[in-house]
């Protein structure tokens, strides 16, 4: 395979990885601290994308629409946590799965009512609509912006978790939730802030994905599956694990889809090779997860 094409697919894998990190960081904190399985996390990804698409013509630009959409998605998460999820913390995981699956159906139908069933195609900002030359490789500027945004968020989250009092409480909650409660910390406020932060990050991922993918009903479900794989590989409750797992999954998934069909063409006809390669590429991240769990059953960077 051409070196430039391989480099392009590697960058695509990193870009997918940082998108997955934006999703996984919030979800792993929610599960690690609140012990809540939130299947509706992908719905906030979808809401962020739709809010951005709706606000671009109102606010006159992609960047202000993105900022407002992320804040509104975080606020929506705060409301959902207080109204629908707070009573589920002491329930078993099956109840949480059923309730949050119901939220998926609710948000999908609400978006369909408000925006219709037709996908929306969101243009990138004019300043990032072109391409950048990277040592002979022509690469979309907006995809590089996604990569840079994800890395900046990763640094910001590290500073928040490692250097602030709120981060100390979050780390303590992920390690020993009962002890944090016993020390008199306002757990309701902590849970609400963590959930809102996770929803805001999911909304940011959806907003950044809008110009790359079609904004459509149910767009959060597919990425949610990859997000759970990332969390299992990285270690539940670990931001560092979410980052490492997201990059691994993004690169393996992207390179698998690019390389495996070409590899199978060496031993079979093109049609069969494409089908076999696509099937093998779909399995690659799950094989990766199984290998990681065989060596490190709690993930790469477990908490505690």
What pLDDT does 175 receive? Answer: 67
211 within some domain: yes
Alpha carbon distance 304, 294 (integer Å): 19
Res 86: pLDDT: 85
Does the pLDDT value for residue 59 go beyond 80?
yes
Residue 32 lies in a domain: yes
pLDDT one-digit tens code per residue, 8-35: 888 899 999 999 999 998 888 888 777 8
What is the rounded CA–CA span in Å between residue 173 and residue 150? Answer: 25
Q: Does position 1 have pLDDT exceeding 60, yes or no?
A: no
N residues, the chain: 304
Domain total in the chain = 1
7 in any annotated domain: no
Mean pLDDT of the residues in the chain: 87
**Which residues, 6 or more positions from 147, have their beta carbon under 8 angstroms from its beta carbon?**
11, 14, 15, 18
pLDDT at 63: 92
* Residue 6 maps to a domain: no
pLDDT in tens, 176-221: 767 777 777 777 788 888 899 999 999 999 999 999 888 999 899 8
Q: What is the 3-state secondary structure (H, E, C) of the chain?
A: CCHHHHHHHHHHHHHHHHHHHHHHHHHHHHHHHHCCCCCCHHHHHHHHHHHHHHHHHHHCCHHHHHHHHHHHHHHHHHHHHHHHHHHHCCCCHHHHHHHHHHHHHHHHHHHHHHHCCCCECCCCCHHHCCEEEECCEEEEHHHHHHHHHHHHHHHHHHHHHHHCHHHHHHHHHHHCHHHHHHCCCCHHHHHHHHHHHHHHHHHHHHHHHCCCCCECCCHHHHHHHHHHHHHHHHCCCCHHHHHHHHHHHHHHHHHHHHHHHHHHCCCCCHHHHHHHHHHHHHHHHHHHHHHHHHHCCCCCCCCC
Distance in angstroms (rounded) separating the CA atoms of residues 58 and 295: 51
pLDDT for 158:
87
Residue, of 172 and 51, whose pLDDT is higher: 51
**Cα–Cα dist 188/85, whole Å:** 11
Q: Kindly report the pTM of this predicted structure.
A: 0.90
**114-134: string of b/e by CB count within 10 Å (b at 16+)?**
ebeeeeeebebbeebeeeeee
Tell me whether residue 96 is in a domain.
yes
Q: What is the mean pLDDT of residues 128-140?
A: 84
Is 287 or 167 the better-scoring residue by pLDDT? 287
pLDDT at 237: 80
User: Number of C-alpha atoms within 13 angstroms, CB side, residue 252?
Assistant: 20
pLDDT digits (tens, 9 = 90+) for 139-150: 889 999 999 999
Rg (alpha carbons) of the chain, rounded to whole number: 20
Please, which pLDDT band fits residue 112 given cuts at 50, 70 and 90?
A: very high
1 belongs to a structural domain: no
Tokens of 161: 């978790």
Mean pLDDT of the 109-135 span: 88
Residue 303 lies in a domain: no
Q: Are 199 and 264 in contact (CB under 8 A)?
A: no
Question: In the structure encoding, which two tokens stand for residue 298, read together?
Answer: 């709690």
Domain span at residue 70 reads 13-295
Is residue 196 domain-resident?
A: yes
pLDDT for 296: 92
pLDDT given for residue 162 in this prediction: 81
What pLDDT shows up at residue 33?
75
> pLDDT value at position 61?
87
Distance (Å, whole) CA 201 – CA 9: 25
pLDDT digits (tens, 9 = 90+) for 219-272: 998 899 999 999 999 988 888 899 999 999 999 999 888 888 777 777 787 778
């Amino acid at each position: 395979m051409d070196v430039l094409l391989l480099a392009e697919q590697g960058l695509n894998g990193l870009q997918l990885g940082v998108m997955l990190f934006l999703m996984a960081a919030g979800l792993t904190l929610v599960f690690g601290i609140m012990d809540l399985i939130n299947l509706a996390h992908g719905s906030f990804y979808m809401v962020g994308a739709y809010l951005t698409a709706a606000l671009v013509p109102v606010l006159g630009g992609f960047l202000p629409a993105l900022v407002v959409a992320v804040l509104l998605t975080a606020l929506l998460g705060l409301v959902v946590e207080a109204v629908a999820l707070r009573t589920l913390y002491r329930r078993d995981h099956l109840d949480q799965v059923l309730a949050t699956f119901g939220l998926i159906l609710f948000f999908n139908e609400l978006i369909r009512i408000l925006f219709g069933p037709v996908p929306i195609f969101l243009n990138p900002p004019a300043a990032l609509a072109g391409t950048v030359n990277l040592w002979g490789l022509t690469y979309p500027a907006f995809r590089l912006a996604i990569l840079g945004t994800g890395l900046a968020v990763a640094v910001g989250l590290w500073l928040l978790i490692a250097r602030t009092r709120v981060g100390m409480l979050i780390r303590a909650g992920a390690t020993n939730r009962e002890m944090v409660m016993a020390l008199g910390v306002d757990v309701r406020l902590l849970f609400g802030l963590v959930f809102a932060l996770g929803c805001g990050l999911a909304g940011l991922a959806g907003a950044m994905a809008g110009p790359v993918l079609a904004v459509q009903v149910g767009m959060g479900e597919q990425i949610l599956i990859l997000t759970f794989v990332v969390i299992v590989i990285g270690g539940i409750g670990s931001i560092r694990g979410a980052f490492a797992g997201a990059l691994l999954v993004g690169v393996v998934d992207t390179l698998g889809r690019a390389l495996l069909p070409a590899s199978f063409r060496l031993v079979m006809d093109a049609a069969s090779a494409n089908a076999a390669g696509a099937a093998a590429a779909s399995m690659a991240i799950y094989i990766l997860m199984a290998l990681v769990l065989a060596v490190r059953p709690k993930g790469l960077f477990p908490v505690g």
